Structure 1
Amino acid sequence: MIKHVDLGKSKSCRKSKLASLIRHGEVRLAGYSKGKIYGLLSCSSGKRMKIENRVFFRDEDEALANDYRPCGNCLKDKYSIWKNQ
């Protein structure tokens, strides 16, 4: 798990580092640390959160290992399964 604020001090530094991590496949999912929710990088809900609450994951296994649940907006099928457990 990578915290967004740990990627750099400035907005441009964080943006550059994150782009590199995405290109190299080290980041595929994003999460909301306060709600322990993970979802797609393209999720409209995730794009609205503050950077201090944003985290990134390599894959779903890493998100689940950190006790995060699927997003009900961008991962509806996985969210339904999680909710019904």
Structure 2
Amino acid sequence: MIRHMDLGGTAAERTKSLSSFIRKGEITLGGYKKAKIYGRLNCATGKRMKVEHRVFFRDEADAVSHGYRPCGHCMREKYKEWKTKAAGASACLK
């Protein structure tokens, strides 16, 4: 997981670093650290979040290993799968 602040000190440095990581394929997903949600980099919902709450991931496995769940907007099918598993897990606890 790469936090936005780990990319550089100034906005220009962060933009340059982020673009480089994306071009190299080192970042493929973005996340919202307050709600622990990950999604595609071009997600309209994700683009509205504040810069200080953004994190970035190499892939889904990286996001899931950090406890993040799929975005219900840009990753609808993955979200439905996650929701079904979460509902099943909570039913087992009762």
TM-score (norm 2): 0.88
1:42, CA displacement in angstroms? 0.3
Give, as a single letter, the amino acid of the residue that structure 2 aligns with 1:78: K
CA distance in 2, matches of 1:71, 1:8: 26
Match in the other structure for 2:9: 9
Structure in which a larger fraction of residues adopt helix:
2
How large is the Cα RMSD of the aligned pairs? 0.6
CA distance in 1, matches of 2:30, 2:56: 4
1:30 is paired with a residue of what secondary structure? strand
Q: Percent identity?
A: 55
Q: Does 2:80 align with 1:71?
A: no
Distance 1:9 1:46 in 2: 22
Q: Which residue of 1 aligns with 2:22?
A: 22
**What stretches of structure 1 of length at least 5 have no aligned partner?**
none
**Could you tell me how far apart the structure 2 residues matched to 1:55 and 1:76 are?**
20
Q: Aligned pair 1:54/2:54, yes or no? A: yes
> So what's the TM-score if we normalise by structure 1?
0.97
Q: Please, which runs of 5 or more residues in structure 2 have no aligned partner?
A: 86-94
Tell which structure's C-alpha radius of gyration is larger.
Answer: 2
Q: Which has the higher contact order (CA 8 A, sep 6+)?
A: 1
The 2-side partners of 1:56 and 1:80 are apart by 22
